[in-house]
């Protein structure tokens, strides 16, 4: 195929990169390649989708839709019959992806490390799925990519279990995954037999969770090691920019983060709070933080990460809360959550009614309330939590505002789903979404 006259779009994902942090570091002269983007008038902050999580936001990008359409409302979903908790993955997405829609027009996509694309399914192009892919063989399409990536030392994810307690090991592990992203770029880019290329660098998110204060405080003991790592990360950004510069016209580059970051003030566990209010009852002690199998008939409300409140109505098999009582409880809970404080500081910036936040949603997985915390407060929903407020080994948490964005064409999207719509518009592939059903919904 003659590739010289095809329109090309490159999307570089910088997971969790705050716009303000990027600008400040670039003005210090530390990251010259990022500075070519961050200090441009074509860079701006955008809003994350709510909740401000990677599965929700990256799915919003690659479906060009919000949670009310694509059906991903958090890291997890709860089966209303068995009360089993299931982690979000690509099988639960209710609409076609932008890659499916481009493929129907004969356009090819190459995708590296895009969250919530696991398990990989066939598409016109090549795919290396990202977080939370547990194993490489089912994270790639076509299947032969797994062998080629293993030979190049590709790692799906850094070891944050150990790295969360050992900053030096975390930085070494992030360097290993960064080398793998470069290897995948070298493998999938050169033939240029693609129309859309997506590369996501999730290393900034991992750095933010465990070492964000080092990026903000020039006197932090881990500041220089973090900036040394970011120098290597910046070099890979430079490689992408140089490859993009060598592409023939017409072409377009977009760079985005899925959410922002802030230093952690405190973790706030909503299930511990609901237990204190007498609204959540468990029949026995959970085996772990995710074990919600023992929610009893006496339960009136429970939470799922990272701030989704569900009223225990008959949409759940053990739910006994009537719709009339649920309406009153919903507003009572909303006001109580808005009044929740930590050391006299309000925890919540806003608490939304789920049906108003996600207009038109018909999924049974839509939460009744969605909490937006103030920057610095991380909302949790552990079923074995006993304390409402805690501060674990994490040092940074997501924010819904201040996510990084750049577009060589100068667009200014309001939120992450709009970036996916810009991709479709570039390729003149705008079309209505087609709804599909996942397993939990067909059983309801």
CATH code of the domain containing 96: 3.40.720.10
Mark which of 348, 371, 390 sits at the end of a domain: 390
Whole-prediction pTM value?
0.95
pLDDT at 441: 52
- The interaxial angle of helices 203-216 and 19-27, nearest 10 deg, is 60
Co-location of 317 and 367 in the same domain: yes
Mean pLDDT computed over every residue of the chain: 95
Count the domains in the chain: 2
Distance CA 127, CA 143 (A): 9
Which DSSP string do the residues of 397-435 spell out, in sequence order? EEESS-EEEEETT----SBHHHHHHHHHHHTT------B
Token readout for 187 is: 């493998």
Co-location of 197 and 59 in the same domain: yes
Token readout for 430 is: 């705008």
E-strand stretches of 323-399: 341-342, 345-346, 348-353, 369-373, 377-380, 389-390, 396-399
* 249-279 pLDDT tens trace: 999 999 999 999 999 999 999 999 999 999 9
Co-location of 247 and 309 in the same domain: no
Co-location of 98 and 114 in the same domain: yes
Q: To the nearest 10°, report the CA torsion of 125, 129, 135, 140.
A: 0
* 289-300 pLDDT tens trace: 999 999 999 999
Distance CA 418, CA 305 (A): 24
Whether the per-residue pLDDT at 435 is higher than 80: the answer is no
Co-location of 213 and 334 in the same domain: no
**CA of residue 5 relative to chain centroid, distance:** 34
| Domain span including residue 25 | 8-82+89-261+399-442
* 277-331 pLDDT tens trace: 999 999 999 999 999 999 999 999 999 999 999 999 999 999 999 989 999 999 9
Quick check: 252 and 406 in contact, CB under 8 A?
no
Co-location of 47 and 73 in the same domain: yes
Co-location of 33 and 169 in the same domain: yes
Q: What DSSP state is assigned to residue 18?
A: B
Co-location of 177 and 151 in the same domain: yes
Distance CA 111, CA 125 (A): 8
Closest CA to 45 of 63, 27, 20, 24: 20
Percent of all residues in the chain with a pLDDT value above 90, rounded to a whole number: 93
* 380-419 pLDDT tens trace: 999 999 999 998 779 999 999 999 999 999 999 999 999 9
**Residue 2 located in a structural domain:** no
């Amino acid at each position: 195929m003659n590739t010289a006259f095809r329109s090309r779009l490159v999307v570089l994902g910088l997971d969790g990169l705050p716009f303000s942090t990027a600008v400040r570091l670039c003005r210090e002269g530390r990251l010259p390649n990022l500075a070519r983007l961050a200090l441009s008038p074509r860079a701006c902050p955008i809003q994350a989708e709510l909740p401000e999580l990677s599965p929700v936001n990256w799915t919003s990008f690659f479906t060009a839709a919000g949670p009310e359409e694509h059906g991903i409302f958090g890291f997890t979903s709860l089966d209303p019959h068995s009360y089993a908790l299931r982690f979000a993955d690509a099988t639960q997405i209710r609409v076609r992806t932008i890659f499916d829609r481009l493929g129907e027009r004969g356009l090819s996509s190459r995708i590296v490390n895009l969250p919530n694309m696991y398990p990989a399914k066939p598409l016109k192009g090549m795919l290396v799925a990202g977080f939370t892919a547990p194993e490489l063989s089912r994270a790639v399409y076509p299947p032969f990519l797994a062998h080629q990536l293993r030979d190049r030392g590709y790692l799906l994810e850094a070891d944050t279990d150990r790295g969360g307690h050992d900053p030096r090991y975390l930085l070494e592990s992030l360097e290993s995954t960064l080398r793998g992203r470069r290897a995948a770029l070298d493998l999938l880019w050169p033939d240029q037999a693609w129309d859309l290329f997506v590369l996501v660098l999730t290393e900034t998110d991992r750095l933010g969770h465990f070492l964000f204060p080092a990026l903000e405080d020039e006197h932090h003991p881990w500041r220089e090691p973090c900036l040394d790592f970011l120098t290597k990360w910046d070099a890979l950004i430079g490689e992408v920019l140089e490859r993009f510069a060598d592409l023939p016209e017409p072409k377009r580059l977009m760079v985005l983060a899925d959410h922002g970051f802030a230093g952690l003030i405190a973790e706030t566990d909503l299930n511990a709070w609901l237990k204190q209010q007498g609204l959540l009852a468990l029949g026995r002690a959970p085996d772990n933080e995710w074990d919600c199998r023992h929610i009893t008939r006496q339960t009136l409300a429970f939470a799922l990460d990272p701030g989704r409140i569900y009223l225990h109505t008959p949409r759940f098999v053990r739910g006994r809360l009537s719709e009339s009582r649920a309406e009153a409880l919903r507003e009572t809970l909303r006001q109580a959550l808005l009044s929740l404080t930590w050391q006299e500081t309000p925890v919540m910036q806003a608490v939304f009614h789920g049906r108003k936040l996600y207009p038109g949603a018909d999924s049974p997985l839509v939460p009744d309330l969605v909490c937006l915390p103030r920057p610095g407060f991380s909302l949790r929903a552990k079923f074995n939590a006993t304390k409402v407020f805690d501060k674990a080994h994490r040092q940074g948490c997501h924010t819904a505002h201040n996510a990084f964005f750049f577009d060589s064409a100068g667009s200014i999207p309001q939120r992450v789903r709009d970036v996916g719509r810009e991709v479709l518009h570039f390729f003149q592939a705008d079309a209505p979404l087609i709804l599909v059903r996942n397993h939990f919904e067909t059983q309801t």
